[in-house]
Structure 1
């Protein structure tokens, strides 16, 4: 693979953020932040399997991550079966690259174990409301992020697959998920064919706050971000061009507005309720 063009932490932060401050910390304690700032979604993989030993370590690292009140309400399902991976890829057919991933993991929120503990101890479960679902979502999200960080640290590439929630019922059936367990996201895993591309992010001034939330200057900052990102990462296609037409200055905010001008996963709440969660 071609080496990354970003030699140091300053280069990486500047590539990500238009308002990056000067970095003065350069010692080995920044090795992990350097790796994290270098990351990017990987959708093209070498034809090389990921060993079970490596996957075992990554799962252990991911599940060592923080968890709400030590409840440990997350699970990882590794799709070792090529047949299962193929079936899952068909369920997210809008993302054809998924079928080429050497490994796919599905991260699940799991509130079932907690309820089983209550049954085994013959103690009523007194928190059958939205927070039970929300805590499991948080645990699954934290584990996913930790897995990605660990995987990329050992040279793997990853890309989350939120589209598993587009067909949540079918994914649950495919993976034999019981009530109170639900798919949070898939993750494609493999050895990348090429270095990750750095995706420019919104300025830190509008996403990293001090003492209290603020939207001062937000619209101007987004417009400036659109312009800067368009210069280095122009969209190759424009979403929903039949409905919205083509724009010469199509940018990130246009793309996100167009994406959410159409309903996505409108039935997910019904699925979660069918998994016996109460969302009040």
Structure 2
């Protein structure tokens, strides 16, 4: 048990990989393990696209703006997928199912299922010595990702994941203190005590930024979040998802 907890606790994003492909049999082992993730009502509302075409990786890199989308040992795209379920129904059955398929509830089910299998992918990959990095920036142009991957209705690309043999060992980035994340019985509003914990975390994070090996800066978690949410981004994702017949109702 301790070994598993150590793997999870020592996670860090890897953005620099050795020029060495991850063998297909290892990808198969990783995804088979990942698929043992919990899934709502046995729906398994996800698909994973393994990107092996170098040109396709370069195209996805242009969308994301991240070099390591093309330069890695392997690249995966995780999709929320209700198309597989829709494909099992007759035309008449599908008409009866559309209200459910297009509901916010089922979109949440699909995104949660996808996130669970992706996190299992991370743990499985790291357990055999690989490094990973989630790539949310594929949503910079979600329509183009959709076109490149030829995704049908009821399928939405949520994020990518770069895997490979690490060519760096970045410092472990601090996380929020458990006292501001873990609530007991009811949601506990942020009082002076909790704010003191966040203030201490902000100082800890600033120390991390100033002493890490690369990209040193002065910053805090609170300032980052305020900057982030002052600027709305990827607003076109809402209409894209609805056009895919998801999250409409």
TM-score (norm 2): 0.91
Deviation, structure 1 residue 130: 0.9
Q: Residue 61 of structure 2 aligns with which residue?
A: 89
Name the CA shift for 1:153/1:120 in 2 (closer, same or farther; >3 Å).
farther
Matching of residue 37 in structure 1 with residue 6 in structure 2: no
2:62 & 2:216 partners in 1: Cα distance?
A: 23
Deviation, structure 1 residue 264: 1.1
Q: Residue 178 of structure 1 aligns with which residue?
A: 152
Pairing of 1:229-240 with structure 2 (within 5 A): 229-234=205-210, 236=215
Q: Residue 68 of structure 1 aligns with which residue?
A: 40
1:33 & 1:161 partners in 2: Cα distance?
A: 24
1:119 & 1:150 partners in 2: Cα distance?
A: 37
2:119 & 2:42 partners in 1: Cα distance?
A: 17
Pairing of 1:87-236 with structure 2 (within 5 A): 87-93=59-65, 95-119=66-90, 122=93, 124-125=96-97, 126-127=99-100, 128-215=102-189, 216=191, 217-234=193-210, 236=215
Deviation, structure 1 residue 237: 6.6
Q: Secondary structure at the match of 1:100?
A: coil
Unaligned runs of 5+ in 2: none
Q: Secondary structure at the match of 2:112?
A: helix
Count of matched residue pairs: 241
The one of 16, 20, 24 aligned to 1:48: 20
Q: Is the 8 A contact 2:76 2:162 kept in 1?
A: yes
1:227 & 1:190 partners in 2: Cα distance?
A: 33
Deviation, structure 1 residue 212: 2.0
Q: Is the 8 A contact 2:205 2:219 kept in 1?
A: no
Deviation, structure 1 residue 196: 4.3
Q: Secondary structure at the match of 1:213?
A: coil
Q: Secondary structure at the match of 1:233?
A: helix
Q: Is the 8 A contact 2:80 2:158 kept in 1?
A: yes
Q: Secondary structure at the match of 2:162?
A: strand
Matching of residue 254 in structure 1 with residue 223 in structure 2: yes
Q: Is the 8 A contact 2:209 2:219 kept in 1?
A: no
Q: Secondary structure at the match of 2:48?
A: strand
Deviation string 1:99-119 (CA, Å, 9 cap, x unpaired) is 212211000000112222232
1:33 & 1:121 partners in 2: Cα distance?
A: 48
| Runs of 4+ with deviation above 6 angstroms | none
Q: Secondary structure at the match of 1:166?
A: helix
Question: Which protein has the bigger helix share?
Answer: 2
1:256 & 1:100 partners in 2: Cα distance?
A: 29
2:149 & 2:55 partners in 1: Cα distance?
A: 12
